[in-house]
């Protein structure tokens, strides 16, 4: 790991700017194949947020891109800086990379999209940024997991699962093992959330005088309500 890598990890903009302008190797890789740009997209301390460090990282990313680094450089697991930022739950960095031309449709070695990584990382704001930028909400990876499958399984991110449902994720899609997202939710919270949506829709139809109409619930048809 080079000194520039370390500056990027901690968001030390002045140090990074000095190294860049003195000719530091911008595409140097650490043992995991990560360049300084990758390191700027990671979280220096996953247990707590540091807005000052994040601001420094955004400035460093701008400086690196201005100096001509490859925004799509992949590390050894074939992850681009954008995919890492989504996994780390950094909405400001994700937005900055997208606005700087990063490929929002980039995929990992198993065809997971940025939305899969955001759902695993547990960041509601990153999910919103990606959906607002038209990333497919029901994209499937090589195991046919959608981001909703991932939210229900990986780390039990119930909040992410609920948001994906609210944004229109299909709850009936099955992965290659024949499982729907709710099959993977051991807590049962996602199923209860879907039940509450269905009950709310039934009450709304009853109050509007359409209680006798035969209308499938959005939950039974596979879609949650849109925000």
Instruction: Report residue 43's pLDDT band, with 50, 70 and 90 as the boundaries.
Output: confident
Average pLDDT over residues 9-19: 95
- Domain of 15 in residue numbering reads as 1-81+92-102
Collect all residues with Cβ–Cβ distance below 8 Å to 38 and sequence separation of at least 6.
73, 75, 79, 81, 84
Other residues' Cβ atoms within 10 Å of the Cβ of residue 29:
17
Can you list the positions of beta strands (E) in 48-112?
none
Are 179 and 128 in a shared domain?
yes
Are 96 and 124 in a shared domain?
no
Are 32 and 130 in a shared domain?
no
Distance between CA atoms of residues 61 and 71, nearest Å: 9
What pLDDT is recorded for position 221? 41
Domain boundary at 102, 135, 160, which?
102
User: Is 225 inside a domain boundary?
Assistant: yes
Are 96 and 115 in a shared domain?
no
Q: Tell me how many degrees the CA angle 59-63-65 measures, rounded to the nearest 5.
A: 115
Are 190 and 168 in a shared domain?
yes
Give me the CATH number covering residue 42.
Answer: 1.25.40.20
Distance between CA atoms of residues 64 and 210, nearest Å: 59
Average pLDDT over residues 102-125: 94
Are 14 and 98 in a shared domain?
yes
208 or 203: which carries more pLDDT confidence?
Answer: 208
Are 73 and 138 in a shared domain?
no
Collect all residues with Cβ–Cβ distance below 8 Å to 194 and sequence separation of at least 6.
165, 171, 182, 219, 224
Domain tally, the chain: 2
- Give the gyration radius of the chain's Cα atoms: 20
Convert the pLDDT of each residue in 56-92 to its tens digit.
999 999 999 999 999 999 999 999 999 999 999 999 9
Backbone angles phi, psi at 200, to 5 degrees: -65, -40
Cβ–Cβ < 8 Å for 15, 7: yes
Convert the pLDDT of each residue in 147-175 to its tens digit.
999 999 866 688 999 999 999 999 999 99
What pLDDT is recorded for position 209? 63
DSSP 8-class letter at 42: S
Are 8 and 46 in a shared domain?
yes
What pLDDT is recorded for position 196? 86
Are 60 and 118 in a shared domain?
no
Are 96 and 116 in a shared domain?
no
What pLDDT is recorded for position 122? 84
Cβ–Cβ < 8 Å for 124, 157: no
Are 141 and 212 in a shared domain?
yes
What pLDDT is recorded for position 49? 65
Are 60 and 143 in a shared domain?
no
User: Is 75 inside a domain boundary?
Assistant: yes
């Amino acid at each position: 790991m080079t000194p520039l890598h370390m500056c990027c990890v901690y968001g030390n903009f002045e140090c990074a700017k000095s190294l860049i302008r003195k000719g530091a190797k911008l595409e140097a890789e650490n043992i995991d194949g990560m360049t300084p740009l990758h390191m700027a997209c990671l979280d220096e301390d996953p247990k707590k947020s540091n807005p000052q460090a994040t601001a420094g990282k955004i400035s460093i990313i701008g400086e690196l891109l201005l100096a001509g680094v490859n925004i799509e450089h992949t590390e050894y697991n074939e992850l681009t800086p954008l995919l890492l930022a989504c996994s780390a739950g950094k909405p400001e960095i994700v937005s900055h990379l997208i606005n700087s031309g990063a490929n929002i449709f980039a995929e990992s070695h198993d065809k997971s999209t940025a939305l899969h990584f955001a759902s695993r990382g547990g960041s509601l704001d990153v999910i919103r940024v990606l959906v607002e930028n038209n990333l497919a909400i029901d994209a499937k990876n090589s195991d046919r997991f959608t981001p909703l499958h991932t939210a229900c399984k990986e780390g039990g991110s119930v909040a992410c699962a609920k948001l994906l449902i609210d944004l229109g994720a299909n709850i009936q899609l099955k992965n290659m093992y024949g499982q729907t997202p709710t099959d993977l939710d051991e807590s049962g919270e996602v199923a209860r959330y879907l039940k509450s949506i269905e009950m709310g829709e039934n009450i709304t139809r009853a109050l509007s005088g359409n209680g006798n109409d035969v209308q499938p619930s959005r939950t039974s048809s596979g879609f949650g309500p849109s925000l």
